[in-house]
Structure 1
């Protein structure tokens, strides 16, 4: 495998991020959800206007993992009031780490996680937190391996389906 390079995403990366977001979300969750619900979610969540607003939010940052000219994964982190739930100034939220199925198991997710950890430390955060679908055993195992523990649960809605996410956090030194 050639080396993976992380680059901060900007508005110029909108189309790349849309395609990558749709592809990785679909790969991860389509076998557990109806096609109709998936298509509705993808259309709404990765609409240009919505994603552009997220890209331009001051306390949110996106990074794309590139293998040569191909995007293979991405990270979205939020701090302060941009966090989806806790909005704790002492924490950083990992809202999304997604990697193409072709690159899972190749340390791309670890590179993206390490970037989030680096940002949290640069900002002197006390902990990192995230929500992960409890049925996504691979992701849950990844976060446990990286020192996360479960502290709560919340409901994630995919269309009409209410799914339980585990809320996990990692305290920083």
Structure 2
């Protein structure tokens, strides 16, 4: 049984731990070990996550597979991007599944859930950034209808960036 629940600030520690693991699984080889570890500790800690809940445009959701936490997502409503001319769009800021749960269609369910939530808020589309070398993710988003709209250098450390695609799905 798949269940998606809205997270709140009380879930900050849980989200931080999950984010650390999933980011390492998907990006751990994209920079030096020190750069990755420093980025994870700075970005994915309970206090940083808790602070994000202060923004009313941000929503975190947790996905469970048979009552086991499998992943999470974060969207931000009304978040423009310089590569996209459309107004009233949502940023899919994070969508991560633990490796053990990939290939079970949970990513599709979580993405569809976030798209439906975005549409309910009268948004015109949803965008994200994805590491260009993460072929599995790039192909997943293309299959889901996203198109490459631009480029973005994702800052891992002061000395290291990863090239990312900005991808956009316009709602019909």
TM-score after normalising by structure 1: 0.92
In structure 1, C-alpha distance between the alignment counterparts of 2:50 and 2:80, rounded to whole Å: 17
Structure 1 spans left out of the alignment, 5+ residues: none
Per mean C-alpha deviation after superposition, the further-off stretch among 107-116 and 30-39 is: 30-39
Is 1:139 matched with 2:137? yes
In structure 2, C-alpha distance between the alignment counterparts of 1:59 and 1:130, rounded to whole Å: 16
TM-score after normalising by structure 2: 0.92
SS of corresponding position for 2:49:
helix
Asked if the contact 2:17–2:45 (Cα under 8 Å) also holds between the matched residues in 1, the reply is: no
Aligned to 2:41: 43
Aligned to 1:31: 29
**Shift of residue 14 of structure 1?**
1.2
Q: Deviation per CA, 1:58-95, whole angstroms, max 9, x where unpaired?
A: 00000001124421111100012xx3845975101101
Structure 2 spans left out of the alignment, 5+ residues: none
Computed over aligned residues only, the root mean square deviation of the Cα atoms, in angstroms, reads: 1.6
Q: Which runs of 4+ in 1 moved over 4 A?
A: 84-89
SS of corresponding position for 1:32:
coil
